[in-house]
Amino acid sequence: MPIDFTLSELQREIQANASAFAERFLAPVAAKVDRITDPWEAFVATREAYREMAHAGFTKCFIPIEHGGLGFSMIDIAIAAEELTRIDVNVPTTLLATGLSLQPILQRGTSEQKARFLPDFVNDTEGDLLAAFAFTDVGGGANFDSEQPPAGIQTIARREGDYWVINGQKHYTTNGTGWNKKGAHLYLAVCRTDRTKAAGESLAVIAVPGNSPGIEVVDVYDKLGHRGTVTPAINFENVHVPIDNLIGTTGTEAKKLVAGAFSWTAALIGAACVGVMRAAFEYALDFARREKRQGPVPVIEYQSVGYMLADIKMRVEEARYLTWKACHYLESTGGKGQELAIMTKVRCSELAVQTVYDAMRVVGVESYTKFTPLERLMREAMVFPLYDGGNQGVRRRQLHEMMMQPGYHSMLAAKGDPAPWE
């Protein structure tokens, strides 16, 4: 069977519907939240758009059909995400954060756990439920899996009878406030069960209902971009949850669970990068076609501008097809093909920053003002290399570690073969 990048009729429908939805519901949000100075108020201003997204079915697109969701493939989600993020990054990021948080349950949860935790999100008629991945400790997250205790995750889940008792401080916990600063509907907390043991023995991912006593929203961080997403600090103080809220097992499986969840987002962040890059390219192209800047012809007719636009467009296409390939590879291997997902996160995020900057160079100094959307797009793009596992501290390290595996060879991803060590 030949390799074919032709979109199916369903995918064309997804693309068209996502584009129309973004123009109708997200465009007003993008303009509004960027003018709000208070980070909490900016997030709350996205609530109605998020509800509309839920009513349109986007919030359950990543949940399998057998659990009541729409069962979109990762490529389907990437196609929709590009159209949404071309208009607004904030609301789709809130959705992506919920998807990340549910990945441990979707990927490795028991049938009982899926039946217990997923229906709330499927049957959310108000469109208000948020999940949060409580991963990054206040002390950092790059060395969460350190094999040299007491280094590593400092959030501790101590076993007491039939309960885990969780204590620790997390930050950058996207969605962690919920819509009322009382907490998300569900947290997936990354912990250790024993401070004296390495991550390979003690790492754990535990589902924590948001109404559990002892969860406190401590702060809502102000940010340069992504003004309409919320990244709070969360304290867990003697939070009791049943022992069967542990997803998978502790130790090595928990490390794979975290890697699997972040590989899912890594691939899809590529689509968000493409959306932002497209928005920058389209603005710069339109500018170059209509503006003469006191010259005799539109500036697109000058090679210095035309060649820069050509370079920008090549980056957009490169990022899109790497994203699609990464999504297909990860899904077709049952999660055992994470290399391209990680590469996508690194490559597309760095391309996005360069692309928006070059679009600003086409437009000139006006792009540095709020007269154009480019200054906002630059602020949105700048976080892509830094969040969801920073490219330097986490993602390149992951690729490095893969290349040191005995079973690694350079054609694994190209052939679509699963990685033997995952």
Of 88, 124, 388, 417, the active-site residue reads 388
Angstrom distance (rounded) from CA 376 to CA 36 = 13
Angstrom distance (rounded) from CA 226 to CA 42 = 10
Helices and strands, number each (H, E), in the chain: 15, 7
Q: Which residues, in sequence order, are CB contacts of 208 under 8 Å at separation 6+?
A: 134, 166, 186, 187, 188, 189, 215, 236, 239, 241, 245
Q: What angle do CA 397, 401, 406 make, to 5 degrees?
A: 170
Hey, what amino acid is at 167? N
Which helix (H) or strand (E) segment holds residue 83: the answer is: helix 74-87
Q: Output Rg (C-alpha) for the chain, integer angstroms.
A: 22
- Report the b/e string of 366-403 with b at 16+ CB within 10 A: ebeeeebbbbbbbbbbbbbbebbbbbeebbebbeeebe
Tokens coding 227: 């003004």
Strands (E), 257-359: none
Angstrom distance (rounded) from CA 422 to CA 260 = 9
Contact between residue 235 and residue 208 where contact means Cβ atoms under 8 Å apart: no
Which helix (H) or strand (E) segment holds residue 154: the answer is: none
The alpha carbon of 209 is separated from its chain's Cα centroid by a whole number of angstroms, namely 21
Q: Is 388 a catalytic residue?
A: yes
**Strand-pair category, 156-160 with 215-220:** unpaired
Shortest CA distance to 129 belongs to which of 17, 53, 39?
A: 53
Shortest CA distance to 141 belongs to which of 103, 170, 165?
A: 170
218-222 contacts at long range (C-beta below 8 A, 24 or more positions apart)? 218/169, 219/171, 220/39, 220/40, 220/43, 220/177, 220/181, 221/39, 221/171, 221/172, 222/39
Q: Active-site residue numbers?
A: 388
